[in-house]
Amino acid sequence: MAFFLACVGVLILGYFTYGVLVERIFGIEPDRKTPCWTREDGVDYINMPTWKVFFIQLLDIAGLGPIFGPILGALYGPQALLWVVIGSIFAGGVHDYFSGMLSVRKGGESIPEVVGDFMGMPARQVMRVFSVLLLLLVGVVFILGPAKLLSSMTGLNVQLLVFFIFCYYFVATILPIDKIIGRLYPIFGVLLLFMTFGVLGGLVFNGYELLPNLDFRANVHPNDLPLWPLLFITLSCGAISGFHSTQSPLMARCMRNERDGRKVFYGAMIAEGIIALIWVTAGVTFYESSEALQAVIASGSPSAVVNEVCNTLLGTFGGFLAILGVVILPITSGDTAFRSTRLILAETFRVDQAQISKRLMIAIPLFVVAFFVSRADFAVIWRYFGWSNQMLSMMVLWSAAIYLAQKGKIHWIATVPAVFMTAVDAAFILQDKIGFGLDPTLSNVASLVIAGGALATFLRYAHPVQPMGGKGTAKGAA
């Protein structure tokens, strides 16, 4: 219990210390008008109160990721808790803050455009492809996951539920953001809090010893999967997730003042980290061994774990509400995933979105493609989602590092996690069977070389940008 509370305390302390440092290094300008004032269109750029923007941001990013990812991460043991705490404060919080605030400074641009502004057209095109691919995978995963859970609760046909969720996503994608998302998300936020803290309370009041095994030296994964780099790919939401960067511009278009950025972007990441901590703790505590946890996952994906944990700890009614929360969470990320995809495609092809006919022009073919993707195997979709997700986070962190270097500011807050995620992504794709299938030792060494090369290139070419007509020679960013 003490270790869990310490982890939560460190996350909260991180918000008030490291979060403040990140904000100061970025350099907010409270008198500068944000996009909701300068580009208001009644559809995507809408002025909203800060508390509502925070809840929407949290629910956008807190889909199945901070539940399924931590459950799968719990298979490795308590090391997953350390990754959640360290990742949230020093990587995820930085990533989310800069993806949101750079979008604010760029007039609410989607993340591929933001990255392209700092890393050039090739990076812009790569980010467009990765973002659309990632968001399609997220949208599809967040259709299949809720549909399977609802089916287990109601007995309804999975494909019928998929159809209804698809219909909701389509409507939420094309309507103004304040019509459905802005009105329902605060209510869903209450359900999220009940579900999250209900599971924690159930563990405590039912007499479970929280985190009975705190041996950080042993990797207890039943399939003997390597901790590096798989834990950092599997447990993304709750530590650092590139998906968040696709969602932050949605709220960058609705946030009233730059001083709210730390609350909305960094704060939502810390809140998601707490959710992830609870589910890692549940996975490690509720089951006697990682083999027992793996057996339940194998019987029906991590949703079977959610079902068993909630019903056992909270009873029939409480378990129903908790599972309903887990159903709603991915739906609140799936709808904004498709909405973000619409906006990225609109910016790519320069299609104005004020008119509903223009929104339908993009949304209809988008959902046709998503339907065919949804027919693929869930496990395969999730594996490709994990790698493309963390590739996106890596590129956003490098963009933040370049931005800070160009401004002559302390870039290391973004550079260090960027280097780390570069090594993670390289190691995964080099050794995994969806990649090159190389020997783990060889791929790990190669990943360090790639990460080191990326750092050397950055330090060589990232310099402060001199004002027009400036005198003297710019110093290196390092």
- Domain borders along the chain are 2-392
- CA 427 to chain CA centroid, Å, is 20
Between 265 and 163, whose confidence is greater? 265
pLDDT at 245: 92
The DSSP symbol for 259 reads G
- Residue 148 confidence (pLDDT) above 90: no
The hierarchical CATH code for the domain 2-392 is 1.20.1740.10
Give the other-Cβ count within 10 Å of 20's Cβ. Answer: 13
Between 141 and 184, whose confidence is greater? 184
Q: Using CA atoms in the order 452, 456, 462, 463, what is the torsion angle rounded to 10 degrees?
A: 140
Least confident range of 159-173, 203-217, 315-329, 340-354: 315-329
Helices (H), 350-411: 356-373, 378-406
pLDDT at 365: 92
Asked if 273 and 92 touch (Cβ cutoff 8 Å), the reply is yes
Length of the chain measured in residues = 478
Nearest-angstrom CA–CA distance, 198 and 194? 5
Residue linked to tokens 């990754």: 83
Nearest-angstrom CA–CA distance, 467 and 471? 9
- CA 90 to chain CA centroid, Å, is 15
By CB atoms closer than 10 A (0-12, 13-18, 19+), residue 275 is buried
Cut 0.75: pTM above it? yes
The pLDDT tens digits for 203-230 are: 999 889 899 888 898 899 998 889 999 9
Query: Which whole-number Å values give the CA distances from 258 to 38, 262, 340, 444, in the listed order?
Result: 14, 8, 21, 40
Tokens of 405: 């270097």
Average pLDDT, the chain: 88
Q: Which of the given ranges, 184-193, 208-217, 314-323, 450-459, has the highest pLDDT on average?
A: 450-459
Nearest-angstrom CA–CA distance, 67 and 78? 16
Nearest-angstrom CA–CA distance, 178 and 92? 27
Q: Using CA atoms in the order 69, 75, 80, 81, what is the torsion angle rounded to 10 degrees?
A: 100
- Residue 382 confidence (pLDDT) above 70: no
Question: DSSP string of 114-126?
Answer: HHHHHH-HHHHHH
Nearest-angstrom CA–CA distance, 227 and 235? 11
* Main-chain dihedrals φ then ψ at residue 211, nearest 5 degrees: 55, 65
Contacts of 257 (CB under 8 A, 6+ apart): 30, 34, 50
- Residue 434 confidence (pLDDT) above 80: no
DSSP helix, strand, coil percent of the chain (3-state; round to 5)? 75, 0, 25
Nearest-angstrom CA–CA distance, 296 and 353? 45
Q: Is 409 helix (H, G, I), strand (E, B) or coil?
A: coil
pLDDT at 473: 35
Task: Quote the percentage of the chain above a pLDDT of 90.
Answer: 54
The pLDDT tens digits for 90-105 are: 999 999 999 999 999 9
88, amino acid identity: S
What's the pLDDT band for 375 if we cut at 50, 70, 90?
confident
Q: Mean per-residue pLDDT for 240-260?
A: 94
Nearest to 102 by CA among 120, 92, 116, 122: 116
